């Protein structure tokens, strides 16, 4: 999922100031790699892009901020700066308006396309960072920078690097080119190869306080910010995205919650029709947060994500068996790790919903 808040406005979000300051210091020290990690929904990749803009800006402002008006800043905004290289999944490139072209697209088609009746099917955009992408930037790194200055390589989300690509990237990080800085963004740094992590300086992007996050959300004209901030686990940008998604997914979300709250009438087949057009990752997220709240109430008497559903969740938790909830929670966590892989959406959804029905048996 891409950041919906762009730093093209030449601003650092309040909770990003400390991380930005640390990154500036590391760049001044000449480190070869930075690992920017933090909870999803804090804007790590947007901060990394803005940081790259600051490093490449031709007329930086006092304090190191990008001017936003020079040629370099304009090129960065349009993903066209010759000294800014990016490693990201093809799916994300398309979502950000800079779809893969040339050899990469051809490689994807030749590797994944299937012929049926003499017609080659177009492969779905890759959700991984592949070895072909890492190999493609290697020649550019062997040359001097186009503007005789810094070169920046952004890698996000770093968890999307598959194993062959990770090995290829590691070889570059072991002997980083001069005047080149790699910035890796990761929501789950524990999923990265330890050898890659060891060659980067870690910077942690921390969530703001609840009051600061609510104040920022109100400034974005978000209605019921408390509800969305709770559901987002305290991450303001994730809360903003959830609030925007309500217009598109509000009816499906309500239908799911109504069904989850009434296990006696729970009908997976009817729900599958309602949720057919919802991304599996979104459904898994809804279910994970719902079951987490049921478990949290059973074990600690509190609700984290859905306080607006407190009465229904409390009633469910009181009638549930903890071991069944824990088993279903474990199952959901496993499904969350698989959700970005190619799958049969109907069967995947069927497994998710059938599992809830079994977990709520008394």
CB under 8 Å to 179, separation ≥6 — which residues? 145, 149, 150, 151
Instruction: Write out the two tokens for 351.
Output: 């497994």
Q: What is the pLDDT of residues 22-33, one digit of tens each?
A: 999 999 999 999
pLDDT at 124 over 80: no
Domains of the chain as residue ranges with CATH = 7-89+128-205 (3.40.50.300), 249-359 (1.20.272.10)
Question: For residue 342, what pLDDT band results from cuts at 50, 70 and 90?
Answer: low
Cβ-contact 73, 66 below 8 angstroms: yes
Q: How far apart are CA 177 and CA 144, in angstroms?
A: 9
Q: Which residue has better confidence, 146 or 252?
A: 252
pTM (two decimals):
0.81
| Mean pLDDT of the region 333-361 | 86
| Mean pLDDT of the region 320-343 | 88
Strand 119-120 with 115-116, pairing? antiparallel
Q: What is the mean pLDDT of the chain?
A: 86
């Amino acid at each position: 999922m891409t950041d919906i808040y762009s730093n093209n406005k030449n601003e650092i979000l309040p909770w990003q100031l400390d991380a930005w300051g640390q990154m500036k210091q590391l760049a001044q020290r000449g480190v070869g790699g930075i690992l920017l990690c933090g909870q999803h929904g804090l804007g790590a990749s947007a901060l990394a892009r803005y940081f790259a803009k600051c490093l490449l800006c031709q007329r930086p402002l006092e304090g190191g901020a990008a001017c936003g008006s020079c040629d370099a800043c304009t090129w960065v905004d349009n993903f066209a700066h010759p000294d800014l290289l990016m490693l990201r999944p093809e799916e994300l490139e398309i979502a950000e308006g800079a779809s893969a072209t040339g050899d990469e697209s051809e490689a994807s088609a030749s590797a994944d396309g299937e012929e049926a009746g003499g017609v080659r099917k177009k492969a779905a955009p890759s959700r991984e960072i592949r070895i072909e992408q890492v190999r493609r930037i290697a020649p550019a790194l062997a040359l001097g920078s186009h503007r005789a200055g810094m070169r920046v390589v952004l890698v996000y989300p770093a968890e999307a690097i598959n194993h062959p690509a990770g090995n290829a990237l590691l070889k570059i990080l072991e002997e980083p080119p001069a005047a080149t800085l790699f910035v890796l963004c990761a929501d789950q740094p524990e999923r990265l190869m330890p050898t890659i992590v060891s060659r980067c300086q870690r910077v942690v992007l921390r969530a703001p306080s609840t009051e600061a996050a609510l104040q920022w959300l109100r400034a974005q004209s978000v209605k019921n910010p408390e509800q969305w901030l709770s559901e987002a686990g305290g991450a303001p940008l994730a809360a903003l995205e959830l609030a925007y998604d309500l217009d598109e997914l509000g009816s499906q979300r309500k239908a799911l919650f109504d069904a989850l709250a009434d296990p006696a009438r729970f009908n997976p087949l009817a729900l599958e029709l309602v949720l057919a057009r919802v991304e599996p990752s979104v459904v898994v997220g809804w279910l994970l947060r719902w079951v987490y709240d049921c478990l949290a109430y059973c074990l600690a008497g509190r609700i984290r994500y859905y306080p607006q559903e407190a009465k229904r969740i409390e009633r469910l938790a009181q009638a549930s068996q903890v071991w069944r909830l824990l088993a279903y929670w474990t199952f959901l966590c496993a499904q969350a790790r698989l959700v970005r892989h190619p799958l049969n959406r109907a069967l995947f959804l069927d497994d998710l919903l059938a599992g809830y029905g079994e977990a709520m048996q008394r």
